Structure 1
């Protein structure tokens, strides 16, 4: 397992993190005992960054993670969650309430990284006037340590990064084999400001694992299929042959501190952990990939 420094926080984190959406059952039925084994195995493999949210499984992901971290394991991980649920308004009171409820579900007295979730759903003025002050109060109370922001909207993400309030930024499906639009401006800005980056959905909502999410539009599926044909030179012989190249593509980017693996399966967890060995894509393969879609629009725009 590789480790790095999480931006200006100084935290030592594994470059592979465990994502919490599948743990909450958002991508299909899950077995409670298997989930606990996955979390424990992740820690045993050296993964010390766990990312979840109140939205995942309507709190079930946080509850399962909190339960699995009892008995001394809580202090072995950097625990990240989010606020507020994107179906609510991020006003001052809701923000405070969201974090307090997360603390209860996670069975902890502090959250290492509290991220604003799907920030594109809220007005910029509300976030600056109410959400951030609420988080700063919780920070002063010792209930959260560091602040982060998440969105798929890269220009908006950069706007928040420029405020210098946030210690981390998380995007999803924006630095992967099919769409690496985050490389143009977000990654350089984060490096300049020493803001840690978290990369989610490196498999493109399941597209690169040949199991596309059911909610994907037909036009996205069609465009993705065309792009995947151009990536045939990367495909491994085994089933789901683009998974390893996709993981190595992100893990090999030194300016992305954490690449998330969202899984509820021991098999895929162990496979993805094996790719966090310091070896990215072959240099020539990397060059070919970066020449393919540099001028293409974002896949999920």
Structure 2
């Protein structure tokens, strides 16, 4: 089933921050943020076992337990099985460093086999306290976590997770499946397969104002041709486009800060927020069905909704193009 038929709107809630990403968030703050998302009409929630070793799923589930299950869409991911035992060594988060060092202490098994996929789903259902999932993404089978070994992980997923999720979709257990990654290559490889195809993909950080040219070269034309939808993860590039200091889950380098400063100058000239420009740019591509920015404070939800609804003059998009701040191939909201 196409993502567009499943997703309830263009704005969802990405719950990675609820897994104590970068900092320890009080339980009350996490709960209040999810409640704020619900109260303001957000009905799509994306999570993953990886986010704080199950902490994000647990916190999200505690709030959703009091909501009618038919009134929201829920996606999680496979590829990490959370064990009851605690980790004794420092966890390996690949290029992401200590992103979830404040999460649960549980040991994480990184595996994309058929058996691990089924165990991962079973664990997610338990932590979330629900009886079904709508969308399941195959998580992080890419270079940023596995380096040159990523193709081996991809093959493990192709013969394991892909087939399990295709079967579950065909049986009506889930509505859709796809890849949830921070790189374009695994999705391109999947779309080129003759095997059962994914319904969509969640691409984090690769279709933003700061990083979109690579996705436009091959992936997005392939997806558009095949009718495969995209959920945009990280539309604010880990926070740097929303007043934060992170880019790619690390402190932003000088060249990125310089580009953001240029973007801020242009948005100031037109009297608009950079957050609105970033979010609306990410959703302007025909393949983009929704975006799932993350949040850890209730006020951020209102900001995201305002950013989606903010009126941006066509002149801004023309000036953005003229300044060379976006790819000539990138679709813009006013068609420029």
Pick the TM interval, shorter chain. 0.7 to 0.9
- Cα displacement string for residues 106-127 of structure 1 (whole angstroms, at most 9, x for unaligned residues): 1111110000001214423222
Q: Residues 95, 47 of structure 1: CA spacing in aligned structure 2 closer, same or farther, 3 A cutoff?
A: same
In structure 2, the residue corresponding to 1:205 is in which secondary structure?
A: helix
- In the alignment, the residues of structure 1 paired with residue 72 and residue 300 of structure 2 have an alpha-carbon distance, to the nearest angstrom, of 20
- Cα displacement string for residues 16-72 of structure 1 (whole angstroms, at most 9, x for unaligned residues): 110011112113221222322222221222211100000001101111111111133
- In the alignment, the residues of structure 2 paired with residue 187 and residue 282 of structure 1 have an alpha-carbon distance, to the nearest angstrom, of 26
Following TM superposition, by how much is the alpha carbon of 1:141 offset from its aligned partner in structure 2, in angstroms?
5.7
| Partner residue in 2 for 1:126 | 156
| Partner residue in 2 for 1:283 | 314
- Cα displacement string for residues 144-186 of structure 1 (whole angstroms, at most 9, x for unaligned residues): 3211112222132122123352111111221211122223433
- Cα displacement string for residues 257-281 of structure 1 (whole angstroms, at most 9, x for unaligned residues): 11112001111111111222384x4
TM-score by length of structure 2 reads 0.76
What is the count of residue pairs matched by the alignment?
A: 286
1:32 aligns with 2:32: no
Give the counterpart of 2:206 among 174, 196, 199: 174
Following TM superposition, by how much is the alpha carbon of 1:254 offset from its aligned partner in structure 2, in angstroms?
4.5
Aligned-residue CA RMSD in angstroms?
2.7
- In the alignment, the residues of structure 2 paired with residue 283 and residue 9 of structure 1 have an alpha-carbon distance, to the nearest angstrom, of 26
Aligned pairs for 1:143-222 within 5 A? 143-163=173-193, 165-181=197-213, 182-213=215-246, 221-222=253-254
In structure 2, the residue corresponding to 1:257 is in which secondary structure?
A: strand
- In the alignment, the residues of structure 1 paired with residue 274 and residue 119 of structure 2 have an alpha-carbon distance, to the nearest angstrom, of 41
Unaligned stretches of 5+ in structure 2? Answer: 81-92, 94-108, 329-336
1:51 aligns with 2:46: yes
Give the counterpart of 2:112 among 71, 82, 90: 90
Unaligned stretches of 5+ in structure 1? Answer: 1-5, 296-301
Q: Is the 8 A contact 2:79 2:138 kept in 1?
A: yes
Q: Is the 8 A contact 2:205 2:248 kept in 1?
A: no
Q: Is the 8 A contact 2:237 2:248 kept in 1?
A: no
1:228 aligns with 2:246: no
| Partner residue in 2 for 1:274 | 306
- Bigger Cα displacement from structure 2, 42-51 vs 160-169: 160-169
- In the alignment, the residues of structure 1 paired with residue 22 and residue 54 of structure 2 have an alpha-carbon distance, to the nearest angstrom, of 15
TM-score by length of structure 1 reads 0.84
- In the alignment, the residues of structure 2 paired with residue 88 and residue 105 of structure 1 have an alpha-carbon distance, to the nearest angstrom, of 18
